[in-house]
Amino acid sequence: MLLNDVFQKHPAEKTAFIFKDQFTTYGEFRKKVLDWAMFLQSQGVKRGDRVGLFSKNSPDFVAAYFAIVKAGGIVVPFNFQLIAPEVAYIVQDTGMEILITRSKLDIGQALQDLGWEKELKQITFDEMAAPEGAKLIEYDMMESDPAVIIYTSGTTGRPKGAMLSQGNVVHNTEDFMAIIPVSENDVGLCVLPMYHGFGWNCSIVMNLYLGATMVVQETYQFSESMNLIKKYKINSMFG
């Protein structure tokens, strides 16, 4: 199974995400992923291109992640707590030319300090919209095709990129589902950062795979989590 297949068959009217009291259905989510994938291709993204993703938790982060993969690209999610030189290093190391953000980053000087000579195009979520009449270029993808490059924390040296295939992400999620009793009737809470492999696979992808509803917390705060659990009668929390 490919990564974008996991959420295609759920009822369009079913709520996929709740974020800051805003509800997004599976139908709306699927449309956004497709529209954003076509937009990214219109910006030059092609198969195998590394595309950065820098944002706190939100449904837009999730849509952008799947849109990058659907467009043929490879997601490079950033820890949103990184400072400019750390972000610039990953940009240079991957050779990315597009970075998707909630708001644009001031990293020009940090890139110059590394001798970066390419143009890094920063695109915000608000700027992403499919061009009129656009059609998606559909690549013949396989489970072995790379989906994401996750960078290590770099505690003993420079961070290193670990590449995961579409099959890696899907099968890791399926393994987790095999031991955790969660169903499409559950309402989950995402508190761990989505750029992290555990929070992504075992919270976001798992709930999308099942067709459950996910309440998204932008950044973890205990008191807010407790309020959300009570308000939305949350019965699962894995990330």
**Dihedral over alpha carbons 203, 175, 159, 116 (to 10 degrees):** -70
User: Looking at residue 12, what is its pLDDT?
Assistant: 98
Alpha-carbon span 45 to 123, nearest angstrom: 13
User: Looking at residue 91, what is its pLDDT?
Assistant: 98
- Judge contact between 64 and 126, C-beta under 8 A: no
User: Per-residue pLDDT tens for 47-72?
Assistant: 999 999 999 999 999 999 999 999 99
User: Looking at residue 185, what is its pLDDT?
Assistant: 94
Alpha-carbon span 80 to 101, nearest angstrom: 10
Alpha-carbon span 62 to 2, nearest angstrom: 16
User: Looking at residue 20, what is its pLDDT?
Assistant: 96
- Judge contact between 98 and 45, C-beta under 8 A: yes
User: Looking at residue 174, what is its pLDDT?
Assistant: 95
Alpha-carbon span 107 to 57, nearest angstrom: 21
Which residues of the chain are modeled with pLDDT < 50? 239
User: Looking at residue 237, what is its pLDDT?
Assistant: 64
User: Looking at residue 223, what is its pLDDT?
Assistant: 94
User: Looking at residue 238, what is its pLDDT?
Assistant: 56
Instruction: Quickly list DSSP for 5-45.
Output: GTTSSS-TTSEEEEETTEEEEHHHHHHHHHHHHHHHHHTT-
User: Per-residue pLDDT tens for 91-124?
Assistant: 999 999 999 999 999 999 999 999 998 999 999 9
Phi first, then psi: give them for residue 153, nearest 5 degrees: -70, -20
DSSP-based three-state secondary structure for 189:
strand
Alpha-carbon span 39 to 67, nearest angstrom: 9
Q: Which two tokens stand for residue 67?
A: 């849109």
